[in-house]
Amino acid sequence: MKIKICGIPYKVKHKKVIQEEEPGIGEGLIIYSKQEIQLRKGLGKEIEQETLTHEIIHGILTHMGRQSLSNDEEFVQGLANAVYQTFKIKEK
């Protein structure tokens, strides 16, 4: 799957291990130099979607030049949860 963040295409990849050299990385990671978002294989549908939202928020903030906000995991997680819950489509 590909998505655009601020007009820049990113490829979304599912991986068994998310970039091992990065300590503390769990479900997802955005790699700007590769224009890639990595998501851990095996996540439930909702966790995967929320994690993708989280990584997209990192990308948006970075492309806006707001690196200090992008580095604030608590802020990014809170915003990602709010955005995900706002746009979540309920299945019938």
Given this model, what pLDDT does residue 59 score? 97
Domain 2-87 sits in CATH at 1.10.10.2910
> What's residue 42's pLDDT?
92
80, 53 contact by CB (below 8 A): yes
Confidence (pLDDT) at 18? 73
Indicate the residue type of 87. Answer: F
Q: Where are the alpha helices (DSSP H) in the chain?
A: 45-63, 67-70, 73-87
What DSSP state is assigned to residue 17? S
Q: In the chain, what are the domain boundaries? A: 2-87
- pLDDT given for residue 92 in this prediction: 58
**Predicted confidence (pLDDT) per residue in 41-92, tens digit:** 999 999 999 999 999 999 999 999 999 999 999 999 999 999 999 988 666 5
